[in-house]
């Protein structure tokens, strides 16, 4: 059996029968489905569940995705893996667009990365439209605070090791992970008069690093000389500082990861 089964728990529970299961409580838990026993009705799960939250046993509403027999409403699709054929119920009154449909494959559309010692500086983006980045809810997640919130250090636009990078009058739309990730060392990043719509995770996330370990997967090849003394106090400066967001709008945020927000900051400073 192939498809996506979505259950609503105290907030939401989503099962993906083809590839993933998504449980949404205060955020979304996603796991791969390894086996379904039709006689007992039991599901067995494998990789995943690293997105946070504390669990819930109550079930509720559900929906099934990628089951051919359920392809009966606009906006739905079914992908036949064996035949490599996509069936799409067009959501519109006219014919489907002649230019086809978009299937995102990239998680990051724009990456501006430097280091604290050699940052990328003084870059302004004006009037750009960032659209169609793939989902990231099965990517590795970390816990940026002492609660149950988990976050993936990724975004359709990714900044790390920058100073004075600015986005103005830009559109961030149909991005299935985080729209903008401000990671690690960044100074004076700014977003102004921009719009965010149909975002799978957070619209904007600012997330620094701490040095309680010798290495960090977000900074491959870099040995942190001041661990563990630096600990979680951010004394090494590897965190966003003076980030500003002004005159922006956001809607339909957190389509997949439900514990999301317009702006989240962790291990960082205003």
Q: 147: pLDDT confidence band, cut at 50, 70 and 90? A: low
Summary mean pLDDT of the chain: 80
Q: What would the mean pLDDT of 212-217 be, rounded to a whole number?
A: 73
Name the pLDDT band for 198 (thresholds 50, 70, 90). very high
- Let me know: does 20 contact 34? Beta carbons within 8 Å: no
Percentage above 70 pLDDT, the chain: 79
Q: What is the pLDDT of residues 30-56, one digit of tens each?
A: 777 777 788 888 878 777 777 765 555
* Per-residue confidence band for 109, with pLDDT thresholds at 50, 70 and 90: very high
Cis peptide leading into 115, omega within 30 of 0? no
Helices (H) and strands (E) counted in the chain, each on its own, are 0, 21
- As a whole-number percent, the residues of the chain with pLDDT over 90 amount to 38
Beta bridge partners of 12: 24
Cβ of 50: how many Cβ atoms within 10 Å? 17
* Rounded alpha-carbon distances, angstroms, from residue 75 to 34, 55, 220, 223, 227: 27, 30, 41, 48, 50
DSSP bridge partners of 130? 172
Domain boundaries defined on the chain: 4-88, 110-266
Own/partner long-range contacts of 8-13 (Cβ < 8 Å, ≥24 apart): 8/59, 8/60, 8/61, 8/62, 9/56, 9/58, 9/59, 9/60, 10/56, 10/58, 11/258, 12/258, 13/56, 13/59, 13/60, 13/62
pTM for the predicted model, two decimal places: 0.79
Spacing of C-alpha 75 from chain mean position: 22
């Amino acid at each position: 059996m192939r498809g996506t089964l979505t259950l609503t728990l105290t907030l939401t529970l989503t099962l993906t029968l083809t590839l993933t299961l998504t449980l949404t409580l205060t955020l979304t838990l996603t796991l791969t489905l390894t086996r379904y026993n039709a006689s007992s009705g039991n599901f067995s799960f494998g990789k995943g569940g690293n997105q946070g939250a504390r669990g819930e046993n109550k079930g509720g509403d559900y929906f099934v995705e990628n089951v051919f027999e359920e392809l009966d409403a606009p906006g739905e699709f079914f992908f036949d893996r064996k035949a490599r054929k996509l069936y799409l119920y067009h959501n519109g009154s006219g014919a489907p667009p002649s230019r086809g449909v978009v299937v995102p494959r990239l998680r990051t559309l724009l990456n501006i990365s430097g280091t604290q010692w050699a940052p990328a500086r003084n870059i302004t983006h004006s009037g750009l439209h960032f659209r169609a980045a793939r989902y990231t809810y099965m990517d590795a997640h970390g816990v940026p605070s002492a609660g149950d919130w988990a976050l993936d250090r990724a975004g359709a636009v990714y900044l790390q090791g920058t100073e004075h990078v600015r986005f103005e009058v830009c559109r961030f739309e149909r991005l299935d992970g985080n729209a903008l990730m401000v990671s690690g060392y960044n100074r004076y990043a700014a977003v102004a008069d921009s719009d965010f719509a149909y975002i799978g995770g957070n619209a904007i996330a600012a997330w620094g690093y701490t040095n309680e370990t010798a290495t960090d997967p977000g900074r491959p090849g870099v040995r942190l000389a001041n661990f563990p003394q630096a600990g979680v106090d951010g004394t090494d400066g590897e965190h966003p500082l003076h980030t500003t967001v002004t005159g922006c709008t956001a809607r339909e945020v957190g389509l997949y990861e439900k514990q999301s927000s317009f702006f989240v900051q962790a291990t960082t400073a205003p």
